[in-house]
Structure 1
């Protein structure tokens, strides 16, 4: 019986009303009779524009994914600390600069890490080149181990990440179909913020968006405004830190535009590393 419930939770999809915010308690559960890959893909294609969610949406524990490379862990020699020795602004929001791609919906899959990894490369590359190229989350889901830092290391190994147009998102993990001719961005290194250092995170975000992992507890409870409730330091939901003010961080999620504040949330800052915001923060170097 327990197994049946878990399977139903994984496959559950529900049509949600448009143009209103959602809370965790709003979600109901539906299942499809046909559990084939094709049926799930058809369901995703029909409902991808923020029309569906499920309780499993919040089951974001990092399960081990299949990797096409055996030497991913060797790439962590390229993970370095990074310093920025210049004056930083008191407020910044990179969404105002045209370097952040639109909010997307990860759907009924545990893929927030893929959206955060692709997003941080998109934004940082745009700051460098002036051209925003949307990158493939499915490329990471199919080819990499789950986790933002693992995904960035995987991109180093693969030699790049494909564009979204060449490798579109479907959510389900499949065989790796990465093709070098479709690469939209390459990275040379992975930088990691000193764990727990919010001032260090501020310095990095002043330079560009940063991928970070927070507790899904905040995602489950957030409805709007500045989230400032007790939160476990369990790093199981990935976000893109796109800005900050004196009192809060601005986080982009992959929950769709009908969640939170049009897919974004504000998390109180300088509150003893609330929800683990600075515990696992990374970004690429080009």
Structure 2
């Protein structure tokens, strides 16, 4: 894993978790460079998604599925070429970097459910993802989590997903996450969350995992031809569901049917 990052007062947790999961997968696949620019994703991904009709807002928040669309079309440069600067998070710069990375294939989705059978399938699918590497996931944060310092957290969770982290491991007792609240928080930036069949912190319901990459010689590259990818969210957030949205969630692992 890349070192724990500090998002400071930037509300771009979606970008921190996505970039972290990409860096981890690049390392797993033995790429030579995997320290990527957070700033690029925060500042340059502002285009409205053609299907979901929403746009990411950098340090004011965003969505995995909208950012994934940007990452399919654009190469991400290295961190040293475009470093994180919270004061310039609304200013996209045209920078160049050798050996930029563009995602060719990914697995991402969202499902809103409290059905125990569905949650069980979501857990099975997440365990299979973890066999491939870390996963960017949503989490329903409760204020008690701000004061977490060690051990297995088995306390209150939030009512809805309001943050994003990197899920990096699992045991019979807990999920292990890397947060972006600096290495001073938690167990040097990490947290153990108790496993529970109800998924109270909603770690299993919103995810992004890169699968395959393309090397790009240099620069921030836009390509109008998209490769096939596993975009499996048919109901991103209930308030932004498209008119043709159904309640079927299908991935390469298992198909899910949401129950009211």
1:48-74 CA deviation, whole Å, 9 max, x = no partner? xxxxxxxxxxxxxxxxxxxxxxxxxxx
The answer to whether the 8 Å contact 1:113/1:147 transfers is yes
Q: Which runs of 5+ in 1 are unaligned?
A: 1-99
How does the TM-score come out when normalised to structure 1? 0.60
The answer to whether the 8 Å contact 2:78/2:97 transfers is no
Does the alignment pair 1:175 with 2:91? yes
Equivalence for 1:150: 66
Structure with the largest fraction of helix: 1
Equivalence for 1:53: none
Give the superposition deviation at 1:186: 1.4
Match of 1:126 among 27, 40, 44: 27
Runs of at least 4 residues off by over 6 Å? none
- In the alignment, the residues of structure 2 paired with residue 259 and residue 139 of structure 1 have an alpha-carbon distance, to the nearest angstrom, of 26
* Structure 1 residues 139 and 182, CA gap change in structure 2 (3 angstroms): farther
- In the alignment, the residues of structure 1 paired with residue 99 and residue 90 of structure 2 have an alpha-carbon distance, to the nearest angstrom, of 19
- In the alignment, the residues of structure 1 paired with residue 203 and residue 36 of structure 2 have an alpha-carbon distance, to the nearest angstrom, of 24
The answer to whether the 8 Å contact 1:123/1:132 transfers is no
CA RMSD of aligned residues (A): 1.9
Structure with the largest fraction of strand: 2
Higher relative CO (Cα under 8 Å, sequence separation at least 6) belongs to: 2
The answer to whether the 8 Å contact 2:73/2:102 transfers is no
Equivalence for 1:190: 106
Paired residues, what number?
Answer: 186
- In the alignment, the residues of structure 2 paired with residue 224 and residue 278 of structure 1 have an alpha-carbon distance, to the nearest angstrom, of 22
How does the TM-score come out when normalised to structure 2? 0.66
Q: Which runs of 5+ in 2 are unaligned?
A: 46-55, 57-61, 112-118, 213-260
Match of 2:78 among 157, 163, 170: 163
Give the superposition deviation at 1:113: 1.2
